[in-house]
Chains A and B, each alone.
Chain A
Amino acid sequence: MKILYCNCTYAKVVPTDVKQAVLRQLSDSGLAFDAVADLCDMSARRDPSLKKIANGGCTKIAACYPRAVKWLFHAADAPLCDDDVTILNMREDPAADIVRELVK
Chain B
Amino acid sequence: MSRTEGKNLRVILYEGPGSTPLGNEARYQMLTSLLDDGFEVTRPVVGQAVAPSDNAPLLVLGLLDRPPAFAADGEVHFRNLADMKALDAAREIREETGARTLAAWKPWFPVIDFDRCTNCMQCLTFCLFDVYGVDKQQNITVQNQDNCKTDCPACSRVCPEVAILFPKYTKGPINGDVVREQDIQREAMKVDITTLLGGDLYGSLRTRQREARKRFSTERDESKALLERKRCLGKLKKELDIPEEVLMTLPSAEDIEERAARAKAKLARRQARSQTMKDAPPAPSVDEWGI
Majority secondary structure, B binding face? loop
The reply to whether the CB of B67 lies closer than 8 angstroms to some CB of chain A is: no
| CB-based contact A67/B107 at 8 Å | no
**A36 CB → nearest B CB, Å:** 5
**How far, in angstroms, from A12 to B105 measured CA to CA in the complex?**
12
- Contacting A at CB under 8 A, from B162-204, are 165, 167-170, 172, 175-179
Q: Which residue of A is nearest B35, CB measured?
A: A7
Q: Taking CB as reference atom, which chain A residue is nearest B29?
A: A27
Q: Are the C-beta atoms of A27 and B28 separated by less than 8 Å?
A: yes
B27: chain A residues within 8 A (beta carbon): 27-28
Q: Whole-angstrom distance between the alpha carbons of A1 and B102 in the complex?
A: 30
Q: Please report which residues of chain A, range 5-60, place their CB below 8 angstroms from some CB of chain B when the two chains form the complex.
A: 7, 9-11, 13, 20, 23-24, 27-28, 30-38, 40-45, 47-49, 52-53, 56-57
Q: Is A85 an interface residue, CB under 8 A from the partner?
A: no
Are A68 and B50 touching (Cβ within 8 A)? no
Q: Is the CB of A10 within 8 A of B106?
A: yes
Contact of B145 among A2, A11, A44, A48 (CB under 8 A): A44
- Residue count of chain B within 8 Å CB distance of chain A: 53
Distance, CA A9 to CA B114, complexed state (A): 27
B6 contacts the other chain (CB 8 A): yes
Say yes or no: A7 contacts B50, CB within 8 Å: no
Q: Is the CB of A49 within 8 A of B56?
A: yes
A56: which of B6, B51, B114, B168 is its contact (CB, 8 Å)? B51
Contact with B along A58-92 (1 / 0, CB 8 A): 00000011111101101100000000000000011
Q: Please name all residues of chain B whose beta carbon is closer than 8 Å to the beta carbon of A30 when the two chains form the complex.
A: 45
Question: Which residues of B lie under 8 Å from residue A20 when comparing CB positions?
Answer: 32
Interface residues on chain A, number (Cβ under 8 Å): 47
Residue among B31, B37, B51, B52 with the highest chain A CB neighbour number at 10 A: B51
User: What is the CA–CA distance of A68 and B167 in the complex, to the nearest angstrom?
Assistant: 6
Separation of A7 and B6 alpha carbons in the complex (Å): 19
Given A10-B106, A10-B107, A27-B31, is A48 in contact with B45 using a C-beta cutoff of 8 Å?
Answer: no
What 9 A-B pairs are tightest by C-beta distance, nearest first?
Answer: A68-B176, A65-B176, A32-B48, A40-B107, A32-B45, A7-B35, A68-B167, A11-B168, A41-B107
Known: A30-B45, A71-B114. 15 other contacts (CB 8 A): A2-B51, A13-B175, A27-B28, A28-B27, A35-B35, A35-B43, A37-B37, A41-B4, A43-B111, A45-B5, A65-B177, A67-B165, A68-B175, A71-B165, A92-B177
B interface residues with partner A (beta carbon < 8 Å): 4-8, 10, 24, 27-28, 31-32, 35-45, 48-52, 54-56, 102-103, 105-107, 109, 111-114, 142, 145, 165, 167-170, 172, 175-179
